[in-house]
Structure 1
Amino acid sequence: MIGIVVVSHSRALATAAVGLAAEMVAEDNRPVIAVAAGLDETTFGTDAAAVSEAITAADSPDGVLVLLDLGSAILSAELALEFVDPEVAERVRLSSAPLVEGLVAAVVTASTGASLDAVVAEAARGLAAKQEHLGDAEPVQTTAVAAAERTNEVVVSNEHGLHARPAARLVAVVNAFDATVSLTDLDTGRGPVDAGSLSMVATLNAQQGHRLQVGAAGPQAAEVLAAISDLAAENFGDTPAEPTATAGGSGLDVAIGPAIVVDAEVDLSGYRPGDDEPGRLDKAVSTAAGELEQLRDRSDDHGGIFDAQLAMLRDRKPRGEIEAAIAGGTPAAAAWKQTYDRLARTFEGLDDAYQRERAQDVRSVRDRVLRILTGDVTAEATDGILVVPELDAATAATVDAARIAGIAVRAAGTTGHGVIVARSRGIPLITGIGGVDVPAGAVVAFDARTGSFELAPDEATVRATITERQAEREQAAAQADQPATTLDGRTIDVLVNVGAVRDAADARGADGSGLVRTEVLFGDRRTAPTVAEQVERFRAVADALRGKPITIRTWDIGGDKPLPFLPQDHEANPFLGERGLRVFRRRPQLLRDQLEAIRQIAAETPVHVMFPMVTTADEVEWALDELGSRPDGLEVGIMVEVPAAALRVETLAVGLDFVSIGTNDLTQYTTAADRTNSAVAALADGLDPAVLRLIDRVVRKAGVRVAVCGDLASDPQSAVLLAALGVQELSAVGPQIPLVKALLRQTDLTKVPDVLNARDAAEVRQLVRR
């Protein structure tokens, strides 16, 4: 195996580049990599004597590749060849390949035992993928490869596509066989490219869900195709960590505490530059790195978020721009902000939605360092009320619910994913506080039940309300197992929404499950679960609910809910595309396996099955045909999530046992407002009279039992309103079940006001509160 030498002016840069490249191959299969960089740990420069020592250390009978950064590194390397033994010098190759990209490509290629010439050629192509993606060079020509004797097709299931590490694993597998292998991306038409070349594989830019045609020729063509199929089935080695439970909050709807304001930009007006701005920045970055490492080590579920932020913090590219700006007289704080602002805008302009969302991480890293530079620690308080412009799911999932008293969201809207996650964790939450000026550290309070948000509140009054609500919650929990029978004699079943077995186990007082989200229950899987595996998981949910009925929703994917083992084609408007049941009209086998699992578990325990995103009677008929014969007791229903289904429910419900209204989707489709878009989220209000009229129509016209499993059922006052409209079952998040049942027991549904003719959702709330 050849050896590799890295020559750079910066020891930190060289060490980081070697660390990145080393991640691509197993430790026991890496080439020797020697570094000659910097005059010492912190002084930039190159030294010919150090380069000659590195060449000697990396020397191999197969040759030595020397990669360099710029300027005197080239001169030092050329001079070093005069210092080493002539026999050694003859097998040394200096390369003009880009240092970082070339090193990654060289290490991966060398690890396969490739010749020096092959490694040099691969390193020289290091920029090809980036140039192809950015379009700032002539497109890379497809590689001439031998005609394929055999072909196979695999799917890229990796969440972020065939990026560097999985691509490196693929290249390593290919080069372990005596065969020539090509790849063609069937979804984009790119290729064929040489699958033994990391740079060429990278030019495909294969994303999650893309289908790759693998062609092979040579003595081991069949063997390499089988190995690549196995690698693809293992997600190219990108196996995510198993999720773990996250602590929950108080479950109250009222909170008080100092404001932790994270939506205001760090104030730089008081920043005064010093004599050593580079050193000041180094210290701030080091402190920020320590904070992020602590956050990563304390986070069981989301350590990867902080690892990504650490990588952004340590990225040499923006750091080089910042150092140049400081050298030109710009203060460190301003230089840091300007550079990371540009980087955030770059991310926001990317095509890939996941990458666009990384702009939020960039801004988080930006502000962490700026707070350290300016001494602004108020936004880093660990106890209080978090004030944010909008709430994303990652923040809702990672916030320390034991220390954050509540979350106040400036944007309106109650059905966004972040709001749903926070409520499912029992974190006190209010949305729609608007642009009210909230000084960091000021005491604030909110009461989501009344919709009030106060600066400098009467603390005694708020504490009394908290005590009252805690007692109310404790009493509700103590009586949670009692039926929710209203004062006028109606009994409403209150069930739990389940996305994990733990949701069922922790659901105090649930009368069963009104929604088992199968796409979430198996969302950590990179391969489709077998029938037996699905039966086992369904049985665990039923056991956690002590044999009470469970309603299993068949695979509901599309829109903002991908299923890793069932990639979908790109759609211009996925919320109006192939979602839910629509997906399986063309690809029915996965649904058939799930229905078989449902039939098997229904023979053991009470089970209902429902089909999502139904629009037409033809879809219902097709679903029933796919279900086929069913054991006694297996009830069948559909989700009512689109206005078309609500307006013709009497036709759709023929032959069914129930319908379940998904208020989250019904609301966004009725109001034409994407609940994940903060600009219009306020319109997506489940208490909009137009939505309530559709619910009312479904109750009156369906002719079967009507349930609600959307987020509206988790709000006690809204749940009472739904029951007054005639809904017979409510499926809520676990922490809210005792409160929903308690309020129903205190209510005479005949006295709930008529809200269908209200002007808007705000008037509906006023009427219900009165």
Structure 2
Amino acid sequence: MIGIVVVSHSRALAEAAVGLAAEMVAEDKRPVVAVAAGLDATTFGTDAMAVSEAITTADSADGVLVLLDLGSAVLSAEMALEFVDPEVAARVRLTSAPLVEGLVAAVVTASTGASLDAVAAEAERGLIGKQDHLGGTTVADTAPVAEADRTADVVVGNEHGLHARPAARLVGLVNGFDATVTLTDLDTGRGPVDAGSLSMVATLNAQQGHRLRVGASGPQAAEALAAIEKLAAENFGDEPVEKAAPAPGGSGLDVAIGPAVLAGDAVDLSEYVASDNELGRLDDALRAAGDELRVLRDGSAEHGGIFEAHLAMVGDRKLLEEVRAAISAGTPAPAAWREAYDALATTFEALDDAYQRERAQDVRAVRDRVLRQLTGTSATETPVDGILVVPELDAATAATLDATRVAGIAVRAAGTTGHGVIVARSRGIPLITGIGDVEVPAGTTVAFDARTGSFEIAPDEQVVRATIAERVGERRRALEEAEQPATTRDGRTVDVLVNVGVVQDAVDARGADGSGLVRTEVLFGDRRTAPSVDEQVEAFRAIARALGNKPITIRTWDVGGDKPLAFLPQDKEANPFLGERGLRVFRRRPELLRDQLEAIRRTAAETPVHVMFPMVTTADEVAWALDALGPRHGLEVGIMVEVPAAALRVGTLAKDLDFVSIGTNDLTQYTTAADRTNAAVAPLADGLDPAVLQLIDHVVRNAGVRVAVCGDLASDPQAAVLLAALGVTELSAVGPQVPLVKARLRQADLGQVDTAAVLAARDADQVRGLL
């Protein structure tokens, strides 16, 4: 095995680089790496005599590779060759490879027993991966790879993709076989590249969830493929992250009162005093902020992806380059950081897509997290029995609030799709958005009622507390009677089911007659690799068990629009809500759907299961889905009715189906031409708009099969009565609303609902008045 020498002006730099490279290979396989760096532990410089001693230490019959940092390091190394035995000097190779990247590549390659020429070539290619990703001139030509005799496909399961350590394990494994192995990233089209080269593997930039095609040829091709498949199944040696238990939830009420606690204002930088180590301060703040975000990510199975995105923002290379350049030019670290992230937030706010505009909240959350670390400022503590009033709600705040102590949250910004709003509602924290710029003195008693949209300063506390008592009593009575069927006063029974996004939704559900919507894209939304058939079966079984093996309706992958799926990357679309969504996506990726359908069929053999296909528009799509499903074997099959076209021709679409389920969220936005994520037009996207109700009525009258509703409208007790009066026989609501919906239905006489007047109403407000 060759030896390696590191020549640097800085001993700390050299030792850190050696430490990094040593992490890439097992201790018993590392080559000898000797260091000649600095004139002493703290003084910069190089010494030819020290270099000659390091060469003697690392000397091997296979040769010695010398990596250098800059300037006089080269001169010192050349002079050192005059001090050593000529026979030793003949085995030494000085290389222009980059010190850090080249050293890592050299150590990994040398550990496989490669020749000095091969190690030197690999070290000199050390920058290729970085240049390929960031742009730049290629430093070395890459040899063409041979065509493979056999192939196998594997998936990158590592949380951070094929980063240095797992890539090094792969390279070390490959070079242990008498075979030529190549890698091609099927998701990006990169490759094939030499899998025995760390630099070439780096050029793939393979991320979690990417599918790699491994090609092999040579005497041990089969053995190499089998070993790589095994390594990939073990996440290339990376340990999985343990998930913490979920935080406790709140009351789930929609009304709250308490003293106002103001938070979310800009971090005060006026007292900050710059030092002569601003770059070091920034690095410390970034490490601390990263540690906080990793704790949040690992503690949230449902929302971990949000904090993973925040981590990516903290480490954004382009922004960090801008910030560090500004600091080097004399700008204090907090000011440089704030300026860069304010500019990024402004960029997001200028985007056309409303959902993307709301991501500016995430940028500002990351900005403030790091600023608090730089200034030593603490985040606002959970207000005891108070109402947190914030300009906007970031996900970290929503996830870390003590939901059992905070009375509620009032958000000045409008919009319901901000990540903080989503997290808070999922935790049952009373919340209202869009209160605007109303002046709220700190400590003043405030109250809100999200059901009516009211926010009051110095309210009549007696009236508010009476409303809270009424809602609490309403909820308590509903919970006590939750297991009773929802049979109306005129004798009609409506099944009230629960919408499930995570298994805990099913565990927490009270009184549900099953699940009318299992959102598989949410159930596995924190995954960056597609779940296996077995993993899906286990999750479906867990949901069924939690619901007492009552029927569950599993919706196949519903992605696109405002619902991205990490392991199914999609091209950017000008109008994603009118693009590839739901079933449309899987006409080009049928393998993911086939696996899911297999998991559904296996689950259906043990417990009652229905399957439902989303975003269906044409009869051809229905036929394609049924063909993909294959023999039903008693499995009930339905589709989502989410677009007006499907509603109007439901009789044709439902011809070979057992049921249809109306997704009122999408049906409303497509009918009213109002993006549900755009606060400016959100009032138009009202599920009680008579046009939407007319389409629902048309579906009920013409489907020829049973009709369910699984959109938000089914979670509104008042609207639920109207839907039942129109002929809907199944309602699937969010968990906390199931008992309330059932209670309201039991009080109703559907024969007394004037559906003709409702369908002929002028607008949604008039519909509410009639109800």
- What TM-score, normalized to structure 1? 0.80
Q: Are residues 313 and 628 of structure 1, via their aligned partners in 2, closer, same or farther at CA, if it must alter by over 3 Å?
A: closer
Identity %: 74
Give the 3 Å change call, closer, same or farther, for CA 766–584 of structure 1 in structure 2. closer
Offset, 1:227: 3.2
Separation of aligned partners in 1, 2:589 and 2:226: 24
Amino acid at match of 1:656: L
Partner of 1:134: 134
Alignment match, 1:638: 639
Q: Which residue of 2 aligns with 1:711?
A: 712
Q: Check if 1:499 corresponds to 2:501.
A: yes
CA distance in structure 2 between the partners assigned to 1:465 and 1:37 by the alignment: 74
Match of residue 692 from structure 2: 691
What is the alpha-carbon distance in structure 2 between the residues aligned to residue 680 and residue 17 of structure 1? Answer: 55
- Residue type at the aligned position of 1:300: G
Hey, what's the Cα distance between the residues in 2 that align with 1:57 and 1:714? 77
Hey, what does 2:428 align to over in structure 1?
Answer: 426
1:301 aligned residue: 300
Give the distance between the partners of 2:425 and 2:84, measured in 1 at CA: 68
- Corresponding residue number in structure 2 for 1:193: 193
Deviation at residue 495 of structure 1 after TM alignment: 0.8
Assess, with a 3 A threshold, how the Cα gap between structure 1 residues 222 and 280 changes in structure 2: closer, same or farther: closer
- Equivalent residue for 1:330? 331
The CA deviation string for residues 425-449 of structure 1, in whole angstroms up to 9 with x for no partner, is 3222223334556678876543211
1:246 aligned onto 2:249: no
Match of 2:123 in 1: 123
Cα pair distance change 1:736/1:420, threshold 3 Å: farther
C-alpha distance in structure 1 between counterparts of 2:66 and 2:687, whole Å: 64
Partner of 1:171: 171
From 464, 471, 474, the equivalent of 1:472 is 474
The amino acid across from 2:478 in the alignment is A
Taking the TM superposition and a 5 Å limit, the aligned residue runs for 1:74-93 are 93=93
Look up the match of 1:59: 58
Structure 2 residue aligned with 1:529, among 521, 528, 532? 532
Supply the distance in 2 between the matched residues of 1:593 and 1:18 (Cα, whole angstroms).
45
Partner-residue secondary structure (3-state), 1:278: coil
Aligned residue type for 2:513:
D
* Distance of 1:646 and 1:231 partners within structure 2: 49
* 1:699-750 C-alpha deviation (Å, 9 max, x unpaired): 3332332211123333444444434444322212222322332333445553
Kindly state the Cα deviation for residue 510 of structure 1 after the two structures are TM-superposed.
0.9
Distance 1:86 1:399, change over 3 A: farther
The worse-fitting range, judged by mean Cα deviation, of 711-720 and 283-292 is 283-292
2:745 corresponds to: 744
Equivalent residue number for residue 275 of structure 2 = 277
CA–CA distance in 1 between the matches of 2:23 and 2:588?
40
Is residue 155–residue 529 contact of structure 2 (8 Å, CA) maintained in 1?
A: no
Instruction: Give the 3-state SS of the residue equivalent to 2:696 in structure 1.
Output: helix
Cα distance change on mapping 1:224 and 1:83 into 2, 3 Å: same
Residues 747/380 of structure 1: CA separation in 2 closer, same or farther (3 Å cut) = same
Distance 2:680 2:56 in 1: 59
Further displaced range: 190-199 or 98-107: 98-107
The answer for the alignment partner of 2:183 in structure 1 is 183
Aligned alpha-carbon RMSD (Å): 4.9
Q: Measured at CA, do residues 289 and 452 of structure 1 come closer, stay the same or move farther in structure 2, by a change above 3 Å?
A: farther
- Per-residue deviation, residues 535-579 of structure 1 (Å, max 9, x unmatched): 5544443332223222233344455656677x5664646654554
Aligned to 2:516: 514
Report the AA paired with residue 276 of structure 2: P
Kept in 2, the 8 Å contact 1:414–1:685? The answer is no
Gaps of 5+ in 2: none
Q: Which residue of 1 aligns with 2:224?
A: 224
- How far residue 2 of structure 1 moved from its aligned partner, in angstroms, is 4.8
Contact 1:658 1:704 in 2 (8 A): yes
Residue aligned with 2:216, SS: strand
CA distance in 2, matches of 1:355, 1:179: 47
Quote the Cα distance in structure 2 between the aligned partners of 1:760 and 1:12: 72
- Aligned runs of 1:358-373 on 2, under 5 Å? 363-373=364-374
Alignment of 1:622-633 (within 5 A): 622-625=624-627, 627=629, 630-631=632-633
How much has 1:492 moved relative to structure 2?
2.6
1:654 alignment partner, SS class: helix
Contact 2:553–2:612 at 8 Å: present in 1 too? yes
SS in 2 for 1:368: helix
Q: Give the Å deviation of 1:497.
A: 1.6
Give the Å deviation of 1:513.
1.1
The amino acid that maps onto 2:715 is S
> Is the alpha carbon distance of 1:582 and 1:329 closer, same or farther for their aligned partners in structure 2, counting shifts above 3 Å?
closer
1:2 and 1:752 map into 2 onto residues whose CA distance is 88
Structure 1 residues 731-740 or 336-345, which shifts more?
Answer: 336-345
Residue equivalent to 2:613: 611
* Structure 1 residues 14-29: aligned runs within 5 Å: 21=21, 24-25=24-25, 29=29
Give the whole-Å Cα distance in 1 for the aligned partners of 2:340 and 2:19: 25
Question: Is this contact kept in 1: 2:293–2:308, CA < 8 A?
Answer: no
Number of the residue aligned with 2:101: 101
Q: Give the partner amino acid of 1:650.
A: G
Alpha-carbon distance change, 322 to 67 in structure 1, aligned in 2, over 3 angstroms: farther
Q: Which amino acid aligns with 2:300?
A: D
Structure 2 Cα separation of the partners of residues 116 and 529 of structure 1? 43
Is the alpha carbon distance of 1:217 and 1:296 closer, same or farther for their aligned partners in structure 2, counting shifts above 3 Å? closer
How far, CA to CA, are the matches of 1:737 and 1:728 in structure 2? Answer: 15
Q: Distance in 1 between matches of 2:20 and 2:9?
A: 18
Return closer, same or farther for 1:578/1:315 CA change in 2, 3 Å cut-off: closer
Distance 1:631 1:63, change over 3 A: same
Contact 2:208 2:528 (8 Å CA) reproduced? no
Change (3 A) 1:513 1:318: closer
Query: 1:446-491, CA deviations, whole angstroms, 9 ceiling, x for partnerless residues?
Result: 3211112345656665555444433433332222222234455543
8 Å contact from structure 2 (residues 306, 395) kept in 1 = no
Per the TM alignment, residue 518 of structure 1 is displaced from its structure 2 partner at its CA by 3.8
Of the structure 1 ranges 110-119 and 298-307, higher mean CA displacement relative to structure 2 is found in 298-307
Which runs of no fewer than 5 residues in structure 1 stay unpaired?
A: none
- Please tell me the residue identity of whatever aligns with 1:216: A
1:713/1:719 contact within 8 Å kept: yes
Opposite residue 636 of structure 1, the aligned amino acid is V
Are 1:413 and 1:684, in contact at CA under 8 Å, matched by a contact in 2?
Answer: no
Structure 2 SS opposite 1:277? coil
Please tell me the residue identity of whatever aligns with 2:372.
Answer: R
